[in-house]
């Protein structure tokens, strides 16, 4: 989302002086499937992390070729735990380090369950740390 000229004029002076870009965006209410206001800062970055990891790279023409993740490449590989442990960090970094607010990405947990592969992700950002749990696919 880009800010209107009026919103840019009212941007806090501290942002303008420090060269910090605003992170204001629309809040996505995933449960109600609607926009529910605006968010900024840590909440905006957390939403970015969740949304990028849930979006398959290259699938939707609205996004450029760098947006999204390639976690679908993990489909069918649940029996190869060593491969998963080596590939997951690379896929997470490729997806999330596209944004300059993200400094480090770490897969802190991995578990296989009947309903799919779950990955716990710790992300350090300019807005603070973010933890997210991602379900890769049903029935791996």
Element (H, E) at 113: strand 102-113
- How far is it, in rounded angstroms, from Cα 38 to Cα 20? 18
How much is the pLDDT for 23? Answer: 79
How much is the pLDDT for 20? Answer: 58
Distances (CA, A) of 93 to 4, 12, 38, 73: 31, 31, 27, 15
How much is the pLDDT for 52? Answer: 94
Q: How many domains does the chain have?
A: 1
Contact 66, 58 (CB under 8 A): no
120 within a domain of the structure (yes/no): yes
140 within a domain of the structure (yes/no): no
108 within a domain of the structure (yes/no): yes
Q: By residue range, what is the domain housing residue 77?
A: 5-135
Phi-psi region of 56 (alpha: psi -120 to 50; beta: other; left: phi over 0): beta
130 within a domain of the structure (yes/no): yes
69 within a domain of the structure (yes/no): yes
CATH number at residue 22: 3.10.450.40
pTM beyond 0.85: the answer is no
103 within a domain of the structure (yes/no): yes
Kindly tell me the burial class for residue 105, based on how many C-beta atoms sit within 10 Å of its own C-beta (0-12, 13-18, 19 or more). Answer: buried
47 within a domain of the structure (yes/no): yes
Mean pLDDT, 10 residues at a time, the chain of 140 residues:
54 52 84 90 93 91 92 74 87 94 94 83 95 74
128 within a domain of the structure (yes/no): yes
Handedness of CA 76, 78, 84, 90 (dihedral sign): positive
């Amino acid at each position: 989302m880009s800010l209107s000229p009026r919103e840019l004029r009212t941007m806090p002076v501290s942002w303008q002086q420090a060269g910090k870009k605003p992170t204001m965006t629309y809040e996505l209410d995933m449960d109600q499937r609607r926009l529910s206001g605006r968010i900024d800062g840590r909440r905006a970055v957390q939403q970015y992390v969740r949304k990028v990891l849930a979006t398959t790279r290259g699938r939707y023409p609205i996004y450029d070729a760098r947006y999204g993740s390639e976690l679908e490449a993990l489909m069918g590989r649940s029996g190869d735990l060593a491969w998963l442990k080596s590939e997951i960090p690379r896929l997470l970094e490729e997806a999330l380090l596209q944004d300059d607010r993200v400094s480090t990405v770490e897969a802190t947990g991995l578990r296989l369950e009947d309903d799919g592969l779950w990955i716990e992700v710790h992300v350090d950002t300019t807005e603070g740390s973010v933890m997210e749990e991602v379900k890769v696919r049903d029935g791996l």
